[in-house]
A and B are shown apart, each in its own frame.
Chain A
Amino acid sequence: MGCTAADVVAALRAAAEVVKEHRDELVRLDQAIGDGDHGENLRRGFTALLSRLDTEEPSSPGKVLKLVATTLISTVGGAAGPLYGTAFLRASAAVGDLEELDSDAVASALRAALDGVVARGKAVVGDKTMVDALTPAVAAAASVDGEVAAVLSAAADAAAEGAESTVPMVARKGRASYLGERSAGHLDPGARSTSLLLRAFADAAAKA
């Protein structure tokens, strides 16, 4: 059984709830090594997304993902806007007009999202960014043979581990890179939010 447009919308509503719950945590993480706006920026973006989902009913999973992209790009205001925006835009293109997403489609959407983030932000693994969470997530998703929920769950677990791996890293991209060595010892807020979003998607898929 695959994910319909309605399932994807449900997953995004769940993700918006998680973003709201973790807003303060993400702000704190970003205050430690960045400009402190990540939690609020994401909350603003996902709040805007919720109101668009209330009024618009995209007819396919790809169209839902595209709506997410354009909303985040135009409302987030920080680096997460273009980065998550590009991720969702590429994911949308990857799934095309499919009516339902099976595990393969989800895995390739994640791969496309990662490629988009890398193309946009020019970060590689080890730079202490969301790429450190998304890269292992993509690999895990590709290695799992099962339902969409299982694929997303493996991706979320790998992303959580990848996010934790950013703690000792010295940032080489984004605002945190200005801190140099002082950025070590802190969890990267972008990696953290990536892992939170994937966990929210996985939990929603498990319920669907």
Chain B
Amino acid sequence: MTAAASRVGLVIVSHSDMLANGVAELAGQMAPDVSVLPVGGTEEGGLGTDYGSVVEALADADSGTGVVVLYDLGSAKMTAEMAVESADDPSRYAVVDAPLVEGAVAAAVAAQGGASLADVAAAAEGASGETPASAPSRPALHVVPDAVSAEVLLTNEVGLHARPAALLARAVAELDAEVVVRYGDEEANAASVLALMGLSAPGGKSITVVATGKDAREAIRRIEELAERGFDD
């Protein structure tokens, strides 16, 4: 688990064991180095939440930088909150009100990128079921004088789908750069996997990448390199 040593962990609390595992599987695919632990069902395998298992998962998922907890329905939230309150240091845990699937994916990618506990929690809370690309992410960067931009051809078949979007977000996450991706009339913040996916940019088409900041050129270079490799599809 040394790879996860510096990353925020995730705990998925659901009434259903299958649901918790499914969400953890989906989120984990985007974040190979993040501990995403599912906790679902009662001790006897029925539907419900098991307080003791949540307490254990919180401890197991915490590699030193804290844990973000997502839940499915009301009593899972209450169980999660009680488990956090019982911890030695409740401030290391954040129970977030977020859509379970989108929130877990967004949080996992943010955690993979090395984001702090507060930022991972914010990534989950900022994930909504609506088309993220249409939401204004931040001021349009084309007015910024020192912006660097490039047209990047999506050489893979599926285009900017879930996994490629996650790879792109991860590639620039640690850089000191603000990166925006445009496709057609839509614009997405490259820090948000969901916003990138919301662009629905298909394979064979080009996206425009605009970056500012100290590492702007490096951000563009990394995205071009990813695209050239076909996002390893």
- CB within 8 Å of B: which residues of A? 35, 37, 41, 73-75, 77-79, 81-83, 85-86, 120-121, 173-175
Contacts and interface: CB of A to CB of B under 8 A. Distances in A.
A73 B48 contact: no
Contact of A82 (B46, B47, B52, B75): B75
B74 A37 contact: no
B48 A78 contact: yes
Contacts of A86: 82
Nearest to B49: A77
B27 to A, nearest CB: 24
SS class, residues of chain A in contact with chain B: helix
A74 B51 contact: yes
Interface string B41-84: 01100111111100000000000000000000111001101100
B73 A82 contact: no
A79 B75 contact: yes
A37 B47 contact: yes
Given A35-B47, A81-B51, A73 B74 contact: no
B57 to A, nearest CB: 14
Contact of B48 (A41, A121, A174): A41
B42 A77 contact: yes
A174 B74 contact: yes
Contacts of B79: 81-82
Most buried by B among A75, A78, A83: A78
Given A82-B79, A82-B82, A85-B82, A74 B52 contact: yes
Interface centre among B46, B48, B74, B75 (most CB of A within 10 A): B75
Nearest to A73: B51
20 contacts: A35-B47, A37-B47, A37-B48, A73-B51, A74-B52, A75-B43, A77-B42, A77-B43, A77-B49, A78-B48, A78-B75, A79-B74, A81-B51, A81-B75, A82-B75, A83-B78, A85-B82, A86-B82, A120-B81, A120-B82
Contacts of A79: 74-75, 78
A121 B75 CA distance: 9
A22 to B, nearest CB: 20
A82 B48 contact: no
A73 B79 CA distance: 8
Contacts of A37: 46-48
Contacts of A78: 48-49, 75
B74 A173 contact: yes
Nearest to B55: A74
Contacts of B47: 35, 37
A175 B74 contact: yes
A37 B49 CA distance: 12
Contacts of A75: 43
